[in-house]
Chains A and B, each alone.
Chain A
């Protein structure tokens, strides 16, 4: 929502483009067959299209809007998402604009009770977290999408039907100039929490609705505070409630506050009430200068997911498959990880490099990641929004003790966001117990300093075998789609990987570890590679 008299996209800092539906001669081929139709050109849909294009697969990208998202919405972009953007070759503008951060501070009744640092070091190419308004996320992805010949993006194009047909899906589209049907081999539903495709397929999200409701409001102001996430528990401006404050680019500040029990959401999102609430928060943090209200919205802390992220030839990607509480900063980040996961897998299957069974690993890997978020988010939700008397008493006791005792402050420490480990994936090999440390099979590769750059810069476009023995790398030279990279034994990378001279790590295109061996043999590596791409029978 925006202040009275302003249009839905009339922003203080962002010029919204306006996109036309397909025009003129382009309309003749609108109903041409497509290998993949992606529904929704938000961050998740655009990332999926770029991930498919990276594998050489063309897609049609549909969105019913005529521009980007109306507000800043998801603003916290994690290191793992920056790694995905880097793999897709689009991270540059994100690095230029986003505000990286490592520190969080929690306050109880105006006094600091906790300061936490997220893990960071010179081994990491990216910071643990970046703040960036969603419109920029979409605009930067759009630059890459618009410049990509393999992506046919169509705006103002609404999907009205998704029917199974022999060997594919018939996608019916309506735009201002007419209706047409695309015979598609596969559909990626990236159309958000209120997914129309999900409804048309007769599927429902299942899970819990938490009590807590929150308002997020963006204000523009000159405010002197570093990019540090602030959490205010039981502050003067909102007794019994919780307030979060984030800095964003362009002097935009995100104020996120919890509504009290019984507070009416409709009333709480009225402009004058939002202004009063924001003014009280700003008074609490000592901001005395002018400020302008940019945009606001309301959300609740739900944990909902589909039982299966695949329905025949339709895959659900991002919020269409799962809704997670906002304070885990996992909505966007898990959505991008979903998009990368299905993108490379579908790309490899459609180009014949992987067997079709690879697609069956999407749900266990990505739904597993969602359930992991739910477990952590439920803990955070119980602290931020105690669901009963017992949880409230314990929360208040922890906060009160935290004024003098560091251990109690740690109870207010939000879970660090680490990528989920695909330990039980059908395409990840059981971990080798011969290792005394390092990331395990199913984990995402930790970055490391190599020369004057980073390990992640030197990986091949497909699978990469990291090893420390040139002999092993030569034995694997004939495997298509896999590239060996020989690292120095005893180097920073070797230490981070707990690797000996005979060790090897097999990395997937999405930087997850498919297998590792403390003492690798070429035939084991080849067998694991074929299992990871479901080509064992060839």
Chain B
């Protein structure tokens, strides 16, 4: 994916989180993660990504 494409995705996600509204963005992001996982078709890769995303969550 090019940098410009990543920025397009970034912008669309920001707008969709705002569009989901208060309290619903977590549900939206979980649905999105499941859809992307199915598209990726590789459970090991998804589990790797889950571990990556868990890093640096602490404040």
The residues of A with any CB-CB pair to B shorter than 8 Å are 379, 382, 388-391, 393-394, 398, 400-401, 403-405, 407, 410-411
Interface centre among A394, A398, A401, A404 (most CB of B within 10 A): A394
Q: For the complex, would chain B's binding face be called helix, strand, loop or mixed by DSSP majority?
A: helix
How many B residues face the partner with a CB closer than 8 A? 17
| Chain B residues near A390 (CB-CB < 8 A) | 13-19, 25
The residues of B with any CB-CB pair to A shorter than 8 Å are 3, 6-7, 10, 13-19, 25, 52-53, 55-57
Say whether B3 contacts A404, CB under 8 Å: no
**A400→B7 CA distance, assembly (Å):** 16
What is the CB-to-nearest-CB distance from A229 to chain B, in angstroms, rounded to a whole number?
20
Say whether A389 contacts B57, CB under 8 Å: no
Say whether B14 contacts A393, CB under 8 Å: yes
| Chain A residues near B17 (CB-CB < 8 A) | 389-390, 393-394
What is the CB-to-nearest-CB distance from A463 to chain B, in angstroms, rounded to a whole number?
36
Say whether A394 contacts B14, CB under 8 Å: yes
Say whether B56 contacts A389, CB under 8 Å: no
What is the CB-to-nearest-CB distance from A508 to chain B, in angstroms, rounded to a whole number?
31
The 6 closest A-B pairs by CB, nearest first: A390-B17, A390-B18, A390-B14, A394-B14, A391-B14, A400-B56
**A388→B18 CA distance, assembly (Å):** 7
Say whether B18 contacts A389, CB under 8 Å: yes
**A404→B48 CA distance, assembly (Å):** 13
| Chain A residues near B13 (CB-CB < 8 A) | 390, 394
**A394→B10 CA distance, assembly (Å):** 7
Say whether B18 contacts A404, CB under 8 Å: no
| Chain A residues near B18 (CB-CB < 8 A) | 388-391
Identify 5 new A-B residue pairs, CB closer than 8 A, beyond the known A379-B7, A403-B55, A405-B52: A390-B14, A404-B52, A404-B55, A407-B6, A410-B6
What is the CB-to-nearest-CB distance from A56 to chain B, in angstroms, rounded to a whole number?
46
Nearest B residue (CB) for A391: B14
**A405→B52 CA distance, assembly (Å):** 10
| Chain A residues near B15 (CB-CB < 8 A) | 390
**A183→B30 CA distance, assembly (Å):** 70
What is the CB-to-nearest-CB distance from B32 to chain A, in angstroms, rounded to a whole number?
13
| Chain A residues near B25 (CB-CB < 8 A) | 389-390, 393
| Chain A residues near B55 (CB-CB < 8 A) | 400, 403-404
What is the CB-to-nearest-CB distance from B55 to chain A, in angstroms, rounded to a whole number?
6
| Chain A residues near B52 (CB-CB < 8 A) | 401, 404-405
Nearest B residue (CB) for A403: B56
Nearest A residue (CB) for B19: A390
Nearest A residue (CB) for B22: A389
Can you list 21 A-B contacts (CB < 8 A)?
A: A388-B18, A390-B14, A390-B17, A390-B19, A391-B14, A391-B18, A393-B14, A393-B25, A394-B17, A398-B10, A400-B56, A400-B57, A401-B53, A403-B56, A405-B52, A407-B3, A407-B6, A410-B3, A410-B6, A411-B6, A411-B7
**A408→B14 CA distance, assembly (Å):** 15
**A404→B51 CA distance, assembly (Å):** 12
**A379→B8 CA distance, assembly (Å):** 11
**A229→B18 CA distance, assembly (Å):** 32
Using known A-B contacts A393-B25, A403-B56, determine if residue A411 contacts B14 with beta carbons closer than 8 Å.
no
Nearest A residue (CB) for B20: A390
